Structure 1
Amino acid sequence: MRENTTEVIVGAAVLAAALGFLWYLIGAAGFGGGPVGQELRANFRSAEGVSVGTDIRMAGVSIGTVSGLSLNTDTYRAEAVFAIEEGVPIPDDSAAVVASEGLLGGTFVEIVPGGSFDMYADGALIEDTQGAVSLIQLLMTFVGRDGA
């Protein structure tokens, strides 16, 4: 009888760990997501490192995720769709910048708030954007300079 009790306890612990891991994976993949307050769009010259599920941050705090990313074949720019959390108003003169956490860190989209008293409406386009800066291009520019 004692062996059965131990097996049941160990089995329950394994099942709880598996369910916790599954819950984490669903949240990390962006399927679970909480309530979305609004959806915003932005066009980038380069969205290198950005994918569906990438964090949207303001002042270093996560306020949403990238929910869609596609190429506009008319403008040849990356079109991103942002799912912003409910209750986070964003001034309509804000900028969206593709940023990096460091040399080896991940990529995220930083919303740099503007000073306007008017806020973006649901589905609005953020016009002030700055795409990803390629580390290789920066190094090539630095190396390519001559001493003059």
Structure 2
Amino acid sequence: MKNSVEFLVGLFMIAGFTAFGYLALQLGEVSLFSDSKNYTIVAQFDNISGVKKGASVQVAGVVVGQVDKIWLDGTGVANIALKLSKDVELATDSMASVKSQGLIGDKFIALSLGGDEESFKDGDILTDTESAVDIESLISKFAFGDVK
């Protein structure tokens, strides 16, 4: 009787630790199980002005992915690796824009879906992009009368 209670308690503890470990991997930034649900494309921008790794990628205000990596290539172009859900089929004539949540909010990438029948595959490059609007330079141009 005593051995069976100890066995059940041990089994319960193992199940609890297993569930805790699984939740920690799913809710954390560990992508052991979720990589099969995502694909990555690279978007090239002239100016990303404040976009950070982990920023959201949105389509029509719905989060469909996140910024996975940011780097500068040899020609001075900013490259952003976008990790997108496989549920989202991104047509090859789609456009990526740097947007801001609110006036001085966090930056994110907004995708405008195209109508092409071909879709981006894992590792493809998206070159149809719209860089961030630099509010500071617009204000300085307006203040010093340089607006055209």
| TM-score between both structures, scaled by the size of structure 2 | 0.74
Q: Which runs of 5+ in 1 are unaligned?
A: 1-18
Offset, 1:132? 1.4
Give the equivalent residue in structure 1 for 2:54: 53
The range that moved more, 132-141 or 34-43, is 34-43
2:90/2:113 contact within 8 Å kept: yes
**Closer/same/farther in 2, CA of residues 120 and 141 from structure 1, 3 Å limit:** same
- SS of the aligned residue for 1:63 comes to strand
Which amino acid is 2:72 matched to? L
Offset, 1:31? 3.3
1:57/1:110 contact within 8 Å kept: yes
Offset, 1:42? 0.9
Aligned partners of 1:34 and 1:100: how far apart in 2? 27
2:59/2:112 contact within 8 Å kept: yes
Aligned partners of 2:128 and 2:87: how far apart in 1? 22
- SS of the aligned residue for 1:118 comes to coil
* Equivalent runs, 1:87-106 vs 2, <5 Å: 87-106=87-106
- SS of the aligned residue for 1:41 comes to strand
Give the equivalent residue in structure 2 for 1:14: none
**Closer/same/farther in 2, CA of residues 99 and 146 from structure 1, 3 Å limit:** closer
**Closer/same/farther in 2, CA of residues 146 and 125 from structure 1, 3 Å limit:** closer
Give the equivalent residue in structure 2 for 1:31: 30
Aligned partners of 1:146 and 1:38: how far apart in 2? 44
Offset, 1:75? 1.1
2:47/2:78 contact within 8 Å kept: yes
**Closer/same/farther in 2, CA of residues 146 and 85 from structure 1, 3 Å limit:** closer
1:37/1:88 contact within 8 Å kept: no
| TM-score between both structures, scaled by the size of structure 1 | 0.74
Offset, 1:146? 6.5
| Runs of 4+ with deviation above 4 angstroms | none
Aligned partners of 2:93 and 2:69: how far apart in 1? 22
Give the equivalent residue in structure 2 for 1:40: 41
Is 1:66 matched with 2:76?
no
Compute the RMSD of aligned alpha carbons.
Answer: 2.5
**Closer/same/farther in 2, CA of residues 137 and 84 from structure 1, 3 Å limit:** same
- SS of the aligned residue for 1:111 comes to strand
Residue-by-residue CA offset, 1:70-104 (whole Å, 9 max, x unaligned): 111x2111111011012110111001101001112
Offset, 1:129? 0.7
2:45/2:127 contact within 8 Å kept: no
- SS of the aligned residue for 1:76 comes to coil
Give the equivalent residue in structure 1 for 2:83: 83
